[in-house]
Amino acid sequence: MHTHHHSEGNNTRKRLKVAFLLNFSFTIIELIGGFITNSVAILSDAVHDMGDTIAIGSALWLEKVAERGRDNQYSYGYKRFSTLGALITSIILVAGSVIILYEAIPRFFAPQEVKATGMMWMAILGIAFNGLAVLRLKGGDESLNNKAVMLHLLEDVLGWVAVLIGSIIIRYTAWYWIDPLLSLLVAGFILYNVFGNLKNVLLVFLQSTPKGFNTESLENSLLDIEGVVAVHDIHSWSMDGVYHILSLHLVVKEQTVHEHLIRVRKEASEIIKKSGINHSTIALEFENEECEKC
């Protein structure tokens, strides 16, 4: 299991490296193109992409840190550093969106002339660069870090599709107010989606029960094990949205022999694994034994 997780991490880092190089290269092109075309939509997205580049870079580094094994300081390992990358990425997205709104709102009420043809070519390049980056990340692991970066790039693709449509309209109508309107729509779309991902990240840090995990169903399954009379103190949480941990207390009959205790623990471990838990700690107790619940 550890080897499989490690190979997935290497695969994710390779994908992130490609996404980082593509995003960094296009940010430079975008800044130049934004000044040439005088498009606030393109300049706003350049600022956003600069944030993306920083976010992907931090995600790449934290993904590597997350692969370290457990030690005295981090007894569960460094997997949560990957989630920290998702948090940083989401915060950068929010900050970038605020900058876009700040730049676009004044221009919406006082539109400036933009070069529609240049906007069209920039949009085509944007779709190509970001689309390629999305394809490179697709198929990576399901960690919140990878999802956050994917969200960045997918929104960029959709944003550039909007810019392409807008530039075509501007070219034939000279409705320059469409340029800042596109910026406002892109910023709104980004904020709408990023808050959903940010919520999932915060739930991990707050040690919420993993999504899809059914405590009641697990408890009922464990009670079906021969000799188990009660289950309590069930705690479940996730390290990174993918790797889930659980601890619980199983109460068995007072006269249960050692061999049966081993069988109870084995059956309980199998049931817990089937419920989507990667690491579990099972404490066995006898009836009438005092237990300090936590």
Model pLDDT for residues 154-199, shown as the tens digit of each residue: 777 877 787 888 889 888 888 888 888 887 887 887 788 788 878 8
pLDDT of amino acid 287: 84
CATH of 215-286, one of 3.30.70.270, 3.40.50.1820, 3.40.640.10, 3.30.70.1350: 3.30.70.1350
pLDDT of amino acid 3: 43
CB 286 within 8 A of CB 254: yes
- Topology at the third CATH level for domain 2-205: Alpha-lytic protease prodomain-like (1.20.1510)
> Does the pLDDT at position 126 exceed 90?
no
Name the pTM for this structure.
0.68
**What is each CA distance from 264 to 224, 271, 294, in whole angstroms?**
11, 11, 23
Give dist(CA 151, CA 97) in Å, integer: 14
In sequence order, the 6+-apart residues with CB closer than 8 A to the CB of 288 are 254
Residues 229-247 have pLDDT tens digits of 999 989 999 988 888 999 9
Split at pLDDT 50, 70, 90, the class of 74 is: confident
**Structural domain boundaries in the chain:** 2-205, 215-286
pLDDT of amino acid 145: 64
